[in-house]
Amino acid sequence: MPSTETSEALRSGLARILDLWRDKEGGSRDPLQGVLRLLLATATGRRTESAGATPPDAEVVRAYEAIRRYFDNVRYALLNPIAMVWGTLTNALRVAAAVDSVTPTQRAVFAFSADSLAALLRSAHSEPGVAESLWRAFRPMPAADCQTLAALLDPHLDVRLDGPTVVALVRVLGNEGPLTTEEVEAIATLRSTGLISAAFAGIRGQA
CA distance 58 to 70: 18
| Biggest alpha carbon–alpha carbon distance for the chain | 49
Q: Which positions ≥6 away from 202 have C-beta within 8 Å? A: none
* Torsion angle, alpha carbons of 21, 17, 51, 54, to 10: -10
DSSP character at residue 153: T
pLDDT score at 171 = 83
Digitized pLDDT (tens) for each residue of the chain, 207 residues in all? 566 888 899 999 999 999 999 998 888 889 999 999 999 998 887 754 444 445 678 999 999 999 999 998 767 766 788 988 999 999 999 999 999 889 999 999 999 999 999 999 999 999 989 999 999 999 998 888 888 899 899 888 777 889 998 988 888 876 665 566 666 666 665 665 555 553 354 444 444
The CB density around residue 139, as the number of other CB atoms within 10 Å, is 14
